[in-house]
Amino acid sequence: MSYDCPGGCVRLPYWSNPDVLFGGIPMGTAHTHDNARVLNATSSTIANYRTAPSNLNLGSNSNIDYNEIGEAIAFSTITMSSGFSVALGGEFYAKAGSSIDASMLALDEINEDNSVGLINNSLFQIYPNPNLGSFNISINNQDSKEAEIIIFDNYGNEVYKNTQYGNGEYRINLPVNKSGIYYLRLQNQEKSETKRVLIEK
């Protein structure tokens, strides 16, 4: 990039790049004056300067606030210790090793033990997901007979509310016109669970 010089020459707001013209003149040469080529050629090297730790422990100093997105990457394990939290409207993603992925999205709370349950311990499943606004939920592992289903948009506004009784398959037709991420919370007398629903209109 050129800089101002004595005598009033014009500062050119470009990195050297032979593909960019200014006044019909190339702003670089293909072999020696091409910052764009250099940045592209070295991007993987630069990206690997910071390596992931083998083990990562997340405590209260790692909390995710409203409208923040956090990401944790480790080669072996990621532990969420007591005090770690994701606030209303925050998102947290984790990747350990080469094949284990997890995500946590908070509406108003996280389980007291900060645990991420396995699918077979889940209160419900959503399918298809993504969808066009109509989808099924399969409720299982529910000890109580009555469960409240509440769906929020990405801003925390309630867009759907209904009560279901017992385990089973239920169809939901979401009354929304916008694509986006929504959050379905199923809550019974003992516990609640929230999952993300992706609507593609």
Q: For the segment 181-191, what is each residue's pLDDT rounded down to a tens digit?
A: 898 988 887 77
CATH (domain of 154): 2.60.40.2550
**Window from 5-14, 26-35, 40-49, 188-197 with minimum mean pLDDT:** 5-14
- Report the number of distinct structural domains present in the chain: 3
pLDDT of residue 108: 39
Domain identity same for 45 and 59: no
Domain identity same for 89 and 161: no
Q: In the predicted model, what is the mean pLDDT of residues 122-141?
A: 86
Cross-strand pairs, 64 = 86
Determine, yes or no, domain membership for 111.
Answer: no
Determine, yes or no, domain membership for 28.
Answer: yes
Prediction pTM value: 0.43
CA atoms within 13 A of residue 6's CA, in its CB half-sphere: 0
Determine, yes or no, domain membership for 113.
Answer: no
Domain identity same for 138 and 78: no
The residue whose two tokens read 């190339």 is 26
Domain identity same for 6 and 45: yes
Domain identity same for 129 and 193: yes
Between CA 126 and CA 150 the distance in angstroms is: 14
Domain identity same for 36 and 92: no
Domain identity same for 30 and 87: no
74-103 confidence digits (pLDDT tens)? 888 888 777 788 877 677 777 777 544 455
Determine, yes or no, domain membership for 112.
Answer: no
| Distances in whole angstroms, Cα of residue 125 to Cα of each of 9, 18, 57, 86, 119 | 65, 54, 29, 22, 8
Domain identity same for 134 and 162: yes
Domain identity same for 60 and 30: no
Left (φ > 0), alpha (ψ -120 to 50) or beta: where does 29 sit?
beta
Determine, yes or no, domain membership for 166.
Answer: yes
Q: In the predicted model, what is the mean pLDDT of residues 163-186?
A: 88
Domain identity same for 25 and 83: no
Left (φ > 0), alpha (ψ -120 to 50) or beta: where does 93 sit?
beta
Domain that holds residue 33: 1-49
Supply 191's token pair: 């516990």
Q: In the predicted model, what is the mean pLDDT of residues 8-21?
A: 74
Determine, yes or no, domain membership for 114.
Answer: no
